[in-house]
Amino acid sequence: MDEVRPLLELRGVAKAFGPRLLFRRVDVALMPGTLSLLAGANGAGKSTLMRVMAGLTKPDAGSVKRLVPEAKLGYMAHATFLYPGLDAEENLLFWARAAGLDRPVERARRALETVGLARHAHERAGIFSRGMAQRLNLARLLLSEPSLILLDEPATGLDVSSRRMLMELMLKARSEGAAVLWISHDTASDARHADRILTLENRSLREEAGGLSC
């Protein structure tokens, strides 16, 4: 039987901004078919740690190893990365073609259907509410069917039904073998869906079981 290997592995990772140390000696592995929450107080360094994982910020110490190609890494930050002058479908077509994905039109339309925006496909993204823009951002992430998904407070601006849809999509990705890491501002609610909870506290990362592991 082939050994199951982590899709992302951090060893001894540290990051500081000037004299301020955010975190140090962070060891963590994201395995296929898991959903993990990343929690911690405001300013603890959660978003910075996720940017290190995504390859957008270099650590000051330690190593970051990703076993997925860049095209299979899905990263969703606070910014939506949308072009307000383009309609929803045009936004997705731009990103699909920029990533060199095959069947861009098919992928874009399927992603819009998945996030419930098919009837808004030809409306300009600039007039979308925060919740609709976040749904379109999620559609952008889904274009490449990523196997490593990093989400920085993805539920911000979403109503209850949209939050439910988001969680269902991430649980589906998990069941299909993806590794999902989610920065949550509602850990009490989201923990029941997670395999584990990673908490940044006192510049260190600690781990405990989530609801799915209990």
Is the overall model pTM greater than 0.85, yes or no?
Answer: yes
- pLDDT given for residue 212 in this prediction: 66
**Do 186 and 33 form a contact (C-beta atoms < 8 A)?**
no
Contacts of 172 (CB under 8 A, 6+ apart): none
**Do 36 and 196 form a contact (C-beta atoms < 8 A)?**
yes
- pLDDT given for residue 1 in this prediction: 56
Angle at 68 between CA 45 and CA 213, to 5 degrees: 65
- pLDDT given for residue 12 in this prediction: 97
Whole-number Å distance between alpha carbons of 193 and 179: 14
- For 51, the 3-state DSSP assignment is helix
Whole-number Å distance between alpha carbons of 170 and 72: 15
Four-residue CA torsion sign, 39, 169, 192, 198: negative
Whole-number Å distance between alpha carbons of 34 and 79: 25
Query: What residues are paired with 181 via a beta bridge?
Result: 36, 150
Mean pLDDT by runs of 10 across the 214 residues of the chain is 86 94 95 95 93 95 94 88 95 94 96 96 95 92 95 86 90 96 86 92 90 62
Give the DSSP letter string of 122-190: TSBGGG--HHHHHHHHHHHHHTT--SEEEEESTTTT--HHHHHHHHHHHHHHHHTT-EEEEE-S-HHHH
- pLDDT given for residue 2 in this prediction: 66
